[in-house]
A and B are shown apart, each in its own frame.
Chain A
Amino acid sequence: MAANYWDSTQAKYFTYTKSELASLRLALHPNTNNNNATNPPFPETRHLAIYTLTNLTKFARRQTNIRQQALATAQIYLKRFHLSVDVRKTNPYLLMATALYLACKMEETPLHIRLMLSEASRHWTELGVSETSRLGECEFALISTLRSRLILHHPYRALGELQGVFGLGVEEQALAHSIINDSYATDLALLYPPHIIAITAIFLAVVLRPAGGLPAGLAAHAASPAVGSSAAQSALAGFGGLKQSGPKLAKLVDWLAESKVDMKAIVDATQEMVSLYECWEGYNEKVVKDAYAKMLKDMK
């Protein structure tokens, strides 16, 4: 488990194929947005995920005790939860607060329930909950839906182990770390083992840094994407031609060739990340906020 991803509940119960994910979601909400006339259309899954990611990140900035790992854990809990419960039937703000509250406990950096609630209601005026018992009740629902499978394997650990192998510099490490943070806006954590995501992030970081001229020292808590869409596109091109092949990239490619790492998965994960950054350009926070507001209003 904690040592062995392959024996973990994450590998056994929460790793899917893309078509499995699609059919699970379709079952929850048969009239997916764009085909049908919801007016205006409900934002796409990735935009919702970006909204969650950026909101949680901003939330954590004000609470020094919340660590990146807890944010990552909270996001996975939400993703798994929304494979059983349609987001349109929930209060997304209450769920965000609850997932984070639970994630902090799981990562052994607990926050008191009252503090979590007061911070959450200050941060999200839409929360609409003033009793801690509501958060406690939501916690029951969350844990029950996740069947108490709460221990997670994140790519950060593999990144830590591999950065030495590839001799990553400080900036490349920071960039890879930020790319992993961004990956929580995708389905990657539901599709691939954590090391695949870590290697993908390393690959992108190594390819992009010399070419893209990225701002150095990206904060781990960045609320904007780590990589621009055009830079990401060029990274994808780099896969084929490897035109900017520096010694680090060559080493990475050699290592991958010799290792038993699933290359198809790496390529696909890279494409997912690139397409996320494209998708991020079309993201508008207000659209999601309004959609949620309308949804909460309709529920009442």
Chain B
Amino acid sequence: MDATPYAPQRHINDNYDIVGFISSGTYGRVYKAISRRTANQPAPIVKHPSGRTIEAFAIKKFKPDKEGAELQYTGISQSAIREMALCTELSHPALIHLVEIILESKCIFMVFEYAEHDLLQIIHHHSLLPRTPIPASTLRSCMHQLLSGLLYLHQNWVIHRDLKPANIMVTSSGAIKIGDLGLARLFYKPLHPLFSGDKVVVTIWYRAPELLLGSRHYTPAIDLWAVGCIFAELMTLRPIFKGEEAKQDSKKAVPFQRNQMGKIGEILGLPRKSEWPLLQAMPEYPSLQTVSMHNASVNRPVTLDKWYRNTTGSNNYNAQTSPPPDDSALDLLKKLLEYDPLKRSTAEQALKHPYFLGADGTGKPPSWNCFEGLETKYPARKVRHDDRLQQYRDNFGFNSLLAQAIAENVLPPGLEQERMLQVHARHAWNLAVDSPKREKTGAREYEVLNEAWGWACLRFAEAAGEWRLKAEFGGVDNVGAGGAGEG
């Protein structure tokens, strides 16, 4: 422990073969993998606790906080620790299943059971032309499973704090799996107010009004608001409150999210003291008055009823083949998108709602397979076999890379800068349009330029011949300072 360096008991490359790259974020990257098989040895069979065999894995690799030439032990981030501890402790059919955690090469690898789809992808698929609504039975099953998983979390004193379509996985057999517990935390008798730990939680479009109004204490009700937003999005295939995030200024003060509050107000109207008794106690209550000055339509809100009529009327539902959800769906939605967190439906109450169990509460709950009776087949998750650009940017960032390339005068010969921009801008544009995350930033031009440069730089990297998925995955140390390479 003192003199001997840390040596892992299991090695990621001894146990898994990487198939490709799924996605990346601030935390690190996610890869798809299968059990490793060699010439002499068949792949070991990994079983889920329920007995079924796990065919494929999603491996989440946390990158260390500090980036730079040489990887160092920097202390594991709060978010990684939470996700590791919670996923190890929790187990529920509607929660993503953790297979194991391997700590190796100064990185953390969390091995999860692979899920073929997620709700964002399913929404995206339906929004492609010809636009088709998500079938009512699928919707009901998704919501029921999601709420079941959420009830389990809340009963175990866990708030998820980042529910959104992209974080809700769907397996090929139609099972919903809540994922990404990086922001989730226990809330039983917190030693400090929840606000003091993480100033900003939940992706802006799904953020509950009490959070937007700066509440120092909040409850699992914030997850139910997000569920309401997801419910609405599954019906219309677009986010119901698609606001723009006000960025944190240099003073580190958390800004009031006026635009987002306005988007909610456009449909629900602004919250009122009569409906939400504690409203005046919210730190941002004074700012609430300024919302209508910037966005007058909050004074003539659409109302959820009208929003729902528009949705069911215009969403290509077909009375015979694919009828819209019945009006109990609207009632549940209203109860989830309730301003006052004390009045908002809990997961337990929502599961008993007539939408799931019929008006008399005796109906059959929806299937655990949200694809049951469906003929449509959803496309499989995109697995990129080439994530070099991403690696490149993750490891160096765009500017430092360019700076380095210029400094060392190693831009590939014959590829002058303008030319590179031109060639790669189109590709970059496609990437930018394709990615809902980038769409949000609104700074497309910058992104495009950035991507183009990234690709340009990738060419340089290719020339250096050092970016191999496998090598990068296994030996992080090899991907050191740009030029060194593996050999």
A residues bordering B, Cβ < 8 Å? 1-4, 8-9, 67, 69, 85, 89-91, 94-95, 101-102, 105-110, 113, 128, 132-141, 143-144, 147-151, 157, 160, 296, 299-300
A151 touching B76, Cβ below 8 Å: no
Task: Find the A residue at minimum CB distance from B110.
Answer: A148
Q: Is the CB of B6 within 8 A of A132?
A: no
> What is the total of A-B residue contacts with beta carbons within 8 Å?
110
Across-interface contacts of B78 in A (CB, < 8 A): 105, 108, 110
Q: Measured between C-beta atoms, what is the minimum distance from B173 to chain A in Å? A: 25
Q: Please report the C-alpha to C-alpha distance between residue A171 and residue B74 in the assembled complex, in whole angstroms.
A: 43
CA distance A299 to B3 in the complex (A): 8
In the complex the two chains form, is A143's CB within 8 Å of B75's CB? no
Whether A135 lies near B75 (C-beta < 8 A) is yes
Task: Tell me if B1 is interfacial: C-beta within 8 Å of chain A.
Answer: yes
* A67-B191, A148-B84, A149-B88 known; A133 vs B72 contact (CB < 8 Å): yes
Q: Which of A1, A95, A109, A150 contacts B1 (CB 8 A)?
A: A95
Known pairs A107-B191, A151-B85, A151-B186; A2 contacts B157 (CB<8 A) = yes
Give 13 A-B contacts (CB < 8 Å), ordered by A residue. A2-B158, A91-B2, A94-B1, A102-B81, A105-B81, A113-B74, A135-B75, A139-B75, A149-B85, A149-B89, A151-B88, A296-B2, A299-B3
In the bound complex, CA of A142 to CA of B84 (Å): 13
State A90–B84 Cα separation when bound (angstroms).
25
Q: Is B9 part of the binding interface, using a Cβ–Cβ cutoff of 8 Å?
A: yes
Cβ contact of A148, chosen from B85, B90, B186, cutoff 8 A: B85
Known: A108-B192, A109-B192. A140 touches B186 (CB 8 A): no
Cβ of B476 within 8 Å of any chain A Cβ, yes or no, is no
Q: Does B189 make an interface contact (CB < 8 A)?
A: yes
Task: Return B218 CB to nearest CB of chain A, in Å.
Answer: 14
The answer to the question of B73 belonging to the interface, with a C-beta cut-off of 8 Å to chain A, is yes
- Contact yes or no, B155 A148, CB < 8 A: no
The closest CB in chain B to the CB of A116 belongs to B75
Highest count of chain A CB atoms <10 Å: which of B2, B90, B106 = B2
Residue of A85, A108, A132, A296 with most chain B CB atoms under a 10 A cut-off? A108
Across the interface, which residues of B come within 8 angstroms of A4, CB to CB?
Answer: 156
Selected contact of A2 from candidates B73, B156, B190, CB within 8 Å = B156
What B residues does A106 contact at CB under 8 A? 81, 85
Q: Please report the C-alpha to C-alpha distance between residue A91 and residue B4 in the assembled complex, in whole angstroms.
A: 11
**Residues 187-220 of B at the A interface (beta carbon under 8 Å):** 188-192, 197
Q: Indicate if B29 sits at the interface (CB-CB under 8 A).
A: no
A148 contacts B88, C-beta separation under 8 Å: yes
Residues of A within 8 A of B2 (CB): 90-91, 94, 128, 296, 299
Give the Cβ gap from A181 to chain B, nearest Cβ, in Å: 16
Q: Is the CB of B1 within 8 A of A91?
A: yes
Taking the closest CB of chain A, its distance from the CB of B8, in whole angstroms, is 6
Q: Could you tell me which B residues sit within 8 Å of A by CB distance? A: 1-3, 5-6, 8-9, 72-76, 78, 81, 84-86, 88-90, 101, 103, 106, 155-158, 185-186, 188-192, 197
B73 touches A148 (CB 8 A): no
B98's closest neighbor in chain A, by CB? A148
Q: Output the residue of B8, B75, B90, B101 with the most chain A CB within 10 A.
A: B75
Q: How far is the CB of B184 from chain A (nearest CB, A)?
A: 11
Contacts of B191 in A (CB 8 A): 67, 69, 107-109
Known: A94-B1, A133-B73, A140-B73. A108 touches B185 (CB 8 A): yes
In the complex the two chains form, is B103's CB within 8 Å of A143's CB?
A: yes
**Judging by beta carbons under 8 Å apart, are A113 and B75 in contact?**
yes
Q: Which residues of A contact B86 (CB under 8 A)?
A: 151
Closest 3 CB pairs of A and B: A136-B73, A91-B2, A113-B75
Nearest to A105 among chain B residues (CB) is: B81
Residues in A with CB closer than 8 Å to B6 are 137-138, 140-141, 144
B106 contacts which chain A residues (CB < 8 A)?
A: 140
Question: A169–B266 Cα gap in the complex (Å)?
Answer: 54
Closest chain A residue to B5, Cβ basis: A137
B4 to chain A, nearest CB (A): 9
Contact present for A157 and B189 (CB under 8 Å): yes
B76:A139 contact, CB within 8 angstroms: yes
In the bound assembly, the distance between CA atoms of A109 and B198 in angstroms comes to 11
Residues of A within 8 A of B157 (CB): 2-3
Cβ-closest chain B residue relative to A160: B189
Contacts of A135 in B (CB 8 A): 73, 75
Q: Which of B3, B74, B76, B190 contacts A108 (CB 8 A)?
A: B190
Shortest Cβ distance from residue A188 to the other chain B in the assembled complex, whole angstroms: 22
Q: What's the Cα separation between A139 and B74 when bound, in Å?
A: 10
Q: Given A94-B2, A300-B3, 12 more contacts at CB 8 Å?
A: A105-B81, A108-B191, A109-B192, A132-B74, A133-B72, A136-B73, A136-B75, A137-B5, A148-B85, A150-B84, A157-B189, A299-B2
- Complex CA distance for A299 and B156, rounded to whole angstroms: 44
CA A3 – CA B186 in complex, angstroms?
10
Among the listed A132, A148, A151, which residue makes an inter-chain contact with B75, where contact means beta carbons less than 8 Å apart?
A: A132
Contact A143 B156 (CB under 8 A): no
Complex CA distance for A102 and B74, rounded to whole angstroms: 13
Closest Cβ of chain A to B188, distance in Å, is: 6
Q: Name the CB-closest residue of A to B192.
A: A109
Task: Give bound CA distance, A102 to B84, whole Å.
Answer: 12
Please, which residues of chain B bring their CB within 8 A of the CB of A299? 2-3
Q: In the complex, what residue of chain A is closest to B158 when comparing beta carbons?
A: A2
Contacts of B72 in A (CB 8 A): 133, 136
For residue A106, give the distance in angstroms from its CB to the closest CB of chain B. 6
On chain B, the residues within 8 Å of A144 by CB distance are 6, 8-9, 103
Chain A, Cβ-Cβ closest to B87: A148
Collect the chain A residues with CB atoms within 8 Å of residue B190's CB: 108
- Chain A residues near B81: list those with CB within 8 A: 102, 105-106, 150
Q: What is the CB-to-nearest-CB distance from B5 to chain A, in angstroms, rounded to a whole number? A: 7
Report the bound CA distance from A108 to B73 in whole Å. 21
Nearest CB on A from B244, distance (A): 30
What distance in Å separates the Cβ of B61 from its nearest Cβ neighbour in chain A?
Answer: 15
State the Cβ distance, A86 to closest chain B Cβ, in Å.
Answer: 10
**Cα(A229)–Cα(B2), bound, Å:** 37
| Contact between chains at B155 and A139 (CB < 8 Å) | no
Instruction: For the complex formed, measure the closest distance between the CB of B99 and the CB atoms of chain A, giving whole angstroms.
Output: 12
Given contacts A2-B186, A102-B81, contact A150 B156 (CB under 8 A): no
Contacts of B84 in A (CB 8 A): 143, 148, 150
Q: Are A133 and B74 in contact (CB under 8 A)?
A: yes
Most B CB contacts (10 A, CB to CB) among A94, A133, A299 go to A133
Interface centre among A89, A102, A148, A157 (most CB of B within 10 A): A148
CB-CB under 8 A for A141 and B1, given A2-B157, A110-B78, A133-B72: yes
In the bound assembly, the distance between CA atoms of A74 and B103 in angstroms comes to: 20
User: Which B residues are in CB contact (< 8 Å) with A110?
Assistant: 78
Interchain CB contact under 8 A, A1 and B89:
yes
